[in-house]
Structures are given as C-alpha cells and as structure tokens.
Amino acid sequence: MATLILHPGKEKSVLRRHPWLFSGAIAQLEGRARPGDTVDVVSHEGRPLARAAWSPASQIRARVWSFNAEETVDHAFFKRRVAAAVARRAGLPELAGQEGLRLIHAESDGLPGVIADRYGDTVVVQLSTAGADKWRTAIADSLQKATGCRRIYERSDVEVRGLEGLEAVTGWLYGAASDEQLVIEENDVRMAVDIFAGHKTGFYLDQRDNRRRVAALAQGRRVLNCFCYTAGFSLQALAGGAREVMSIDSSGPALATARGNLALNPQLDAARATWLEADVFAALRDLRSSGDRYDLIVLDPPKFAHTAAHAERAARAYKDINLTALRLLAPGGLLMSYSCSGGVSAELFQKIVAGAALDAGRTARIVQRLQGAADHPVDLAFPEGDYLKGLLLQVD
C-alpha cells in the first residue's frame, strides 16, 4: 500500500475528521497507487492518520475511508458501512414506510462518492469518485444484502466524474429492468420515477418534508411553483387544497412527466392545475407586468454555484428570482425559497434574500428554516454536506 505524506501542519483537518485532502496538503506519495487505490495517510512526521482513496486527477487528491489508520478497506468494510447506513435510517420513525428513501449519503455516511437511493424494490447507485468507482461490485453486493432489493441500477453519469478522470457509467448491477413504470407514493401522492434519465437518481428525495409542508400551507391559496420539474410541490399543494396551482419549468419533457404524475392521482382536481413551459426568470417578470398575485410561491431552482468561486454570479441569479417573486406575493403571502448550491452558504443565502426583500420594498419574516429530509444527514465534521438550505418567509 502506498503512503500519502502530508505537508507540515496539514494533518489538522484529518484530526478534525474532515474527509477531503486537497493537492496543496500533500507533500509526496511514497510507492505506486492507481486511481481509486487505498493509501495510508500520514503526517509529515510519519504519524498514521487515516486510510483514503487516491484520486490523482482531482484537486481533492484523497478522500478518507477510515480515520482508523489500522482498519482494512476491503469487501467486509463496505458491507459494514452500508449496513450501518441502512440501519441508521431504520432507526428514525419519520422514515418508516417511505417508498423513496436515500440509503447512503456519501461522506456523511462515511462513504465518499457513494449515493444510493431506494425506490420500492429498486436501488439506484451513483458513484462519483475514483475510490467509489473501484469498489463498485462490493458496494452493490453490500446494498443487495442490506436491503434485499430486487434490482440495483447505476447512474454514474454526473459531470463531477470528469474531474476524477472517469467516464460516465450506467447500467444494471443487479437484477434487470421491469416492464412496469416505477412509481412511488410520497405523502399520499403517487409520483413516477425515471431512474434512467431523471435528475439525480430519478427523483428529489431531499425535498420530501418540504413538500409535505407545502401541502399543509396550501389550503385555499393561489400557488406558484417555479422550476417545478415533475411537479412534486405542485401535487402536494393540490393535495393540501390549493385554490389554484401554476407550475413553470423550461423543460417540455419535465412538464409532460408532471402532467403524467397528476394523472396518477385521480383524487386531485386537475382543473386547478395550469402549466407553463417557459424560462422562469422571464415568466416571473411577465407575471409581474400583468399584475398577477399569488399567496404562496415556491422557488426551487437548479444549482447556480457548484463552488464558492461561482457564488457571486449565483447571488445575482438568486436575488433576481427572489426579488420578482416577492413583488408577486399578495400581502400576507408566503415565499418558500431554496438554494441547493454548495458554493452558497446559508448565511449568504439569507443575505441575498434579505437584499431582494429590501429592493422589493417588502417586509419579510422568517417563519421556518428549511433543510433536507432526515435521510440526508450532515456529518458535523463535513459542513460541505449541508447543500440544501431554504427559507419560509411571511411577507407583508
């Protein structure tokens, strides 16, 4: 096994149990290691610190598998880690009976680069790093044993794999495709999941609790759902008794799936739903010009900033949509606004929205801070995992 020697003082982050080692922290690699191989991590003085996956193509040169420098990283290691992640979720009552569930949340479950989501009896795996890619078979086998699932599909087609020197990989790891449409029930609403081409692994599981919150708030309100994708928030608003729900997205195929999801739920009043295929930024301005007003607006845009380097540009985009949305709200209305950009902190996001409220001439109060569901935990030593942040505002 090769040894990764750190520069003097660079062991501090490892001692704080942060799993990333950047190129600037590394003095040298003693021995030979291929991408994904496990290496010993030692301080400049030779003190054993951890065992990590080597990734020479990435600025994050190593990701820690274990902070126990003596722990063997083998098939049994992944069996233990996967089983522990599944068991943690089984111990949370609010996750009981969920048909859609995140089973492994990467670094926060001690498995950097590994995402695993379960939809009924199908598990979708996403491997984004060289280390995770190397242990594909062990991870899939461990997931099957821990869950008893019938199928495991790989969706390792995220752009970040390119930074690791990896090509996109998709396909069945266990079992085979079913002729039946994959549908899950969430908060009493049925939703189709496209594991082959849908965003992420096919569905945004992290917003489960926040969609339930919309249902609780929607009674009698005119609701505007921006960046609606396949209409998770929209259908929950209808289920909660919204008077009208307007859903906007720039993707025609996403809206077609959204309409299909509505058809899966005959208990919902389709006459209260309207759909608009348009650029959300332009559509919001058009609605403002027409004098339209809404009682509840949901802003759940795509990621505007992958890193802090893109935060300034992202801030302008977040301010733009929040400013126009605030102007569209009726007095006493509610704004549910999100950022999933890792490069935008919760503090910065609040400042952006506060600036938008000031420019809109509206007084807004935080009713609730919003985050990902309980199956998307955040390791205290890894704040980068806290990517989803949201604010529920009541606006005068």
Convert the pLDDT of each residue in 35-94 to its tens digit. 999 999 999 999 999 999 999 999 999 999 999 999 999 999 999 999 999 999 999 999
| pLDDT beyond 90 at 305 | no
Q: Could you tell me the residue ranges of all domains in the chain? A: 3-66, 75-174, 204-395
- b/e code 109-123 from CB counts within 10 Å (16+ = b): bbbbbbbbbbbbebb
Q: What pLDDT score does 236 carry?
A: 98
Determine whether domain 75-174 maps to CATH 3.40.50.300.
no
The burial class, CB within 10 Å (0-12 / 13-18 / 19+), for 100 is buried
pLDDT bracket for residue 310 (50, 70, 90): confident
On whether the CB atoms of residues 143 and 13 are closer than 8 A, the answer is no
Identify which has the larger pLDDT, 299 or 180.
Answer: 299
Q: Do domains 3-66 and 204-395 have the same CATH topology?
A: no
**Tell me: the pLDDT tens digits for 242-263?**
999 999 999 999 999 999 999 9
Q: How far apart are the first and last CA of the chain?
A: 63
Active site residues: 340
* CA 125 remoteness from chain centre: 14
| pLDDT beyond 90 at 343 | no
Q: What pLDDT score does 26 carry?
A: 97
> Does residue 136 sit in helix, strand or coil?
helix
Rounded Cα–Cα distance for residues 289 and 298 (Å): 19
**Tell me: the pLDDT tens digits for 356-389?**
999 999 999 999 999 999 999 999 999 999 999 9
Helix 280-289 to helix 311-328 angle (10° resolution) is 30
CATH architecture of 3-66: Roll (2.30)
pLDDT, mean of residues 158-167: 95
Q: What pLDDT score does 66 carry?
A: 98
pLDDT, mean of residues 11-15: 97
Rounded Cα–Cα distance for residues 339 and 390 (Å): 6
| pLDDT beyond 90 at 337 | yes
Q: Which two tokens stand for residue 305?
A: 């900033």
For 380, residues 6+ apart whose C-beta sits below 8 A from its C-beta are none
Rounded Cα–Cα distance for residues 70 and 337 (Å): 45
Q: What pLDDT score does 144 carry?
A: 98
CATH architecture of 204-395: 3-Layer(aba) Sandwich (3.40)
Q: What pLDDT score does 244 carry?
A: 98
pLDDT, mean of residues 192-213: 96
pLDDT bracket for residue 146 (50, 70, 90): very high
pLDDT bracket for residue 309 (50, 70, 90): confident
E strands, the chain, are 3-6, 20-22, 26-30, 38-42, 48-54, 60-66, 100-105, 114-119, 122-127, 151-156, 169-174, 183-186, 189-192, 222-226, 244-249, 273-277, 294-299, 329-339, 364-371, 389-395
pLDDT bracket for residue 128 (50, 70, 90): very high
Q: Which helix (H) or strand (E) holds 285?
A: helix 280-289
On whether the CB atoms of residues 30 and 2 are closer than 8 A, the answer is yes
Q: What pLDDT score does 82 carry?
A: 98
Count of positions (residues) in the chain: 396
The pLDDT mean for the chain works out to 96
